[in-house]
Amino acid sequence: MFPKLIAASLAALLLSQAANAANIEVHLLNKGTDGAMVFEPAFVKAAVGDTITFISTDKGHNVEGIEGMLPEGVEEFKSDMGKDFVLTLTAEGLYGVKCTPHYTMGMVGLIQAGAPVNLDAAAAVTHKGKAKTRFEPLFAQVAK
């Protein structure tokens, strides 16, 4: 009887967490408020369990996790070109993302899920071209 009660309570807790999860939209744009080739918004603060829907507003973009800028245990991901993509935040930390063909043009984004447990590792990743300067103000928004 007691194990069944625990199992039912755990199932109810998991269902309530899923019901409370937010979905945040990020648009992939040729031109946005921050210039050309951008994720908008480029910085997202979310919770573990939330989903980020990357909307291919302008075609010719994708979203890919940046090596060294994902929380421990999160698998690398890369969407198809010109297709919307949903990322579920499964672990606490920072998620660095890029548009593969427009990375050096600065098309990057940063997602914070809970505490930035991998801040040092994510900040240590070196970037090419305009991506380097676009990440500076994104890291400045990270809540510690």
Mean pLDDT value of segment 10-14: 44
pLDDT at 56 over 70: yes
Confidence of residue 20 (pLDDT cuts 50, 70, 90): confident
Whose CA is closest to 109, among 96, 122, 120, 123?
A: 96
CATH number 2.40.50.140 given to 22-140: no
**Residues of the chain above pLDDT 90, percent:** 84
Contact 62, 80 (CB under 8 A): yes
Confidence of residue 18 (pLDDT cuts 50, 70, 90): low
Residues 6+ apart with CB under 8 A from 116: 93, 94, 122, 142, 143, 144
Beta bridge mates, 32:
35
Sheet holding 23-32, edge to edge: 35-40, 23-32, 51-55, 85-88
Q: Residue 108 is which amino acid?
A: V
pTM: 0.86
pLDDT at 16 over 90: no
Domain ranges of the chain: 22-140
